[in-house]
Structure 1
Amino acid sequence: MSVAKVTEIIAASTVSVEDAVRQGVKRASKTINGIQAVWVKDIKAAVAEGDITEWRCTLKLTFVIKD
């Protein structure tokens, strides 16, 4: 039997939503081992002068807890 844990992070990118998700998972994997899944809980964007300047994603990461 395995036990999983879910943790929530926020990641941002000036490029795209997909890039924010990828960068968030990449950064989290430096300190969290065994990430199995990511759920994009929320997407927001920062706007300046009528243009989107940054995409911000709230992510829930699922990882298995080791014995």
Structure 2
Amino acid sequence: MENHTYKLIEITGTSDKSIEDAIERAVSKAANSVDELRWFKVMETRGTIDEDHVQQWQVTLKIGFTLKD
């Protein structure tokens, strides 16, 4: 097994559909500008309410990626 060094970034994804969709959107967006994504950790889940209904999910993630040699 190879030893790696990782860096963490923190981002927030949003979705009007679900928590899972907010996570997918955040990871997908991060993958557009950061290579070697390896894992994520959900740090916070929150949302907005409009007329007694959830309007939008907001999920803050820490994403780890491998640093290049």
TM-score range, shorter chain: over 0.9
* C-alpha RMSD of matched pairs (Å): 0.7
Match of 2:25 in 1: 23
5+ long unaligned stretches in structure 2 = none
> What are the equivalent positions in structure 2 for 1:1-67 lying under 5 Å apart?
1-67=3-69
5+ long unaligned stretches in structure 1 = none
Greater strand fraction, Structure 1 or Structure 2: 1
Q: How many residues align?
A: 67
Over 3 Å off, 4+ runs:
none
How much does 1:45 deviate? Answer: 1.0
Indicate the SS of the match to 2:34: coil
Residue 13 of structure 1 aligns to which amino acid in structure 2?
A: S
Equivalents in 1 of 2:65, 2:47: separation in Å? 27
